[in-house]
Amino acid sequence: MIEVYLAKTIVTMNASWPEATAIAIREGKILEVGTLESLQPWLIRFEHRVIDTYRDAVIVPGFIDPHLHPSMAAVILPMHFITAMPWSLPWGHVPATVTAEGFDQRLAEIAKVEDDEVLIVWGHHDLWHGAMTRSRIEAVESSRPVVVWNRSFHELHMNSACMSFLNITEDIVEGRPQIDYARGRFFENGLGYAIQKLNPYILAEARFTFGLERLKQVVAAGGHTTVGDMAVGLFDFDRELNVTRALFENDSTPFRIEQVPHGAVVTHQRTFEETNAFIESLIEGNTPRLHFRKRIKLFADGAFFSQLAQLLPPGYLDGHQGEWLMAPDVLEERIDLFWQAGYQIHVHVTGDMGVEVALDCLAKAQAKKPRFDHGFTLEHMGYATPEQLQRAKRLGASVSANIYYLHELSARYAELSVGYERASTMGRLASSFALDLTTAIHSDFTMAPAEPLLNMWVAVNRVNAQGEVMGPHECISAEQALAAVTINAAKVLGIDALTGSLRAGKTADMTILSDNPLTVPSMAIKDVKVLATVFEGELTQALQ
């Protein structure tokens, strides 16, 4: 049976047929986009049903977040949030906490009412909440294990009670990189060690499943029909795979997940041939909603939120250096191997030196074995120079940006991190669009709220949390922003022939909105409501 949805406006994101008022769907695919009249050749021939519930609403292609982390979200969402920005989550609203005193007070309140075996709070950020240390946590709570996880997720602090609970002693961590035992600080690779120790607790079956259920609600509430898991194996590859399948591979999941393996994890203790065979086997095991493809996620420089991005001169105001997640020579070797084998490569880059290294690797790979349509993607791209974007264009790279950095961080980073010029030009999206680079926007959830309309709003208005417009020449149009969360996001994931726009033959993935984000005043884009989604032809009403 054909189903015909009527709407006030259907924004197709297909330039040759940009607007419509009716869309016909059969067996999960779009038959035709047009008007009730123009659809008649189908409708006079076949049985059909007209759905006019949304005749006053606006239909856009199903939102796509090409880069978030279900497993990271599953670990974080059961934690207690103490954050500098307000967060609205399907199960409740978290108010902003913007001072050190406020942070400690909130921590004390949580410690008083919660009886978790290990009390974990997430959201600490030095620039609002002051430097964290083991002793500062102990001034609030010393008798039970407490972990204060950084906003960036790439760093945490714990108190002594937690160290003894986890059997972490000074001589055990001696000589391990990126651990400051005295301060109770574990960051980047040192965080990996702390996570191993915390795994039995944070990955405990019930807790992890609870977190993943919450992630499912978040993705659905944001109006997504596709998300990219941009590092499967962040914690425990097999566990993530199994729980994800159990929880998402069923009819109650109104979206698909495009899965990209974590490049350091799948290559660990495997030759490249073994890694390749392993990924091939994952692809063979694809199920209707969960898909691996020939894609890999690699990492260059450190976390943007903890100022560990690697910067070209003039660097940071205080002269500190960023960190490498993969040393440049290791990154180069991995890019070379996956490139030769025909993979689509996604590289986490936060600073302009990270971008430089990634582009150098790409240039070498291109010189050795030229490839077209390779989908090499710069992920996050906090800072990049205009010349780097031009070089990215010449090398055929794409951009998937976290534009929420600008909203949350630009005021503080102007004052305390990199100065005004670079803080206000982070996320150079207008430059990227002007070069016709494939440009997508992601949340990297929980690095930004998984709310495409909110992230579009940031990209269009470039208003920071203090209400100031930052880098107005890098504002993009609402239409470009919508492309960045639909068709361009599909291109970044290599699935644009399947979804991302509305035209005959594509999968019927749609998001139904209260208003048209292309015509409302730009400051109102974030107030447009998600009413429902249609995933492969199946309607799911949004929780209101």
User: Which residues sit at the interface with Zn ion, rule CB under 5 A?
Assistant: 348, 444
Closest residue to Zn ion, Cβ-based? 348
Residue 228 or 494 having the CB closest to Zn ion: 228
3-class DSSP state of 87: strand
> In what helix (H) or strand (E) does residue 457 lie, and over which residues does it extend?
helix 452-461
Cβ atoms of residues 490 and 226 within 8 Å: yes
3-class DSSP state of 16: coil
What is the nearest approach in angstroms of Zn ion to the Cβ of residue 398?
A: 15
Task: Give per-residue burial for 181-218: e unless 16+ CB within 10 Å, then b.
Answer: beebbbbbbbbbbbbebbeebbbeeebbeebbebbbeb
What is the nearest approach in angstroms of Zn ion to the Cβ of residue 344?
A: 16
Residue 348 or 491 having the CB closest to Zn ion: 348
Residue 67 or 136 having the CB closest to Zn ion: 67
Round to whole Å and give the CA distance between 245 and 256.
11
What is the nearest approach in angstroms of Zn ion to the Cβ of residue 141?
A: 30
Round to whole Å and give the CA distance between 81 and 340.
43
3-class DSSP state of 386: helix
Neighbours of 435 (CB within 10 A): 16
What is the nearest approach in angstroms of Zn ion to the Cβ of residue 37?
A: 46
Torsion sign, CA atoms 250, 226, 264, 122: negative
Cβ atoms of residues 359 and 352 within 8 Å: no
What is the nearest approach in angstroms of Zn ion to the Cβ of residue 47?
A: 46
Residue 30 or 303 having the CB closest to Zn ion: 303
Residue 75 or 534 having the CB closest to Zn ion: 75
Structure tokens given for 266: 């799948």
Residue 5 or 122 having the CB closest to Zn ion: 122
Secondary structure (DSSP) of 122-173: EEE-HHHH----HHHHHHH--SS-EEEEETTSSEEEE-HHHHHHTT--HHHH
Residue 43 or 300 having the CB closest to Zn ion: 300
What is the nearest approach in angstroms of Zn ion to the Cβ of residue 444?
A: 4
What is the nearest approach in angstroms of Zn ion to the Cβ of residue 67?
A: 6
